[in-house]
A and B are shown apart, each in its own frame.
Chain A
Amino acid sequence: QVQLVQSGAEVKKPGASVKVSCKASGYTFTGYHIHWVRQAPGQGLEWMGWINPNSGGTISAQKFQGRVTMTRDRFISTAYMELSGLRSDDTAVYYCARESTATGPDYWGQGTLVTVSS
Chain B
Amino acid sequence: DIQMTQSLSSLSASVGDRVTITCRASQSISSYLNWYQQKPGKAPKLLIYAASSLQSGVPSRFSGSGSGTDFTLTISSLQPEDFATYYCQQSYSTPFTFGPGTKVDIK
Hey, which bits of chain A sit against chain B, CB under 8 A? 35, 37, 44-47, 49-50, 59, 61-63, 95, 97, 103-106, 108-111
Contacts and interface: CB of A to CB of B under 8 A. Distances in A.
Given A37-B44, A44-B99, A108-B44, 14 more contacts: A44-B87, A44-B101, A45-B87, A45-B98, A46-B98, A50-B96, A59-B94, A95-B43, A103-B46, A103-B55, A105-B46, A106-B55, A110-B43, A111-B43
Query: Binding site of B, secondary structure by majority: helix, strand, loop or mixed?
Result: loop
Interface residues of B, number: 24
B44 A45 contact: yes
Given A45-B87, A47-B89, A103-B49, A109 B43 contact: yes
B66 interface: no
B72 interface: no
B25 to A, nearest CB: 14
Contacts of A110: 43
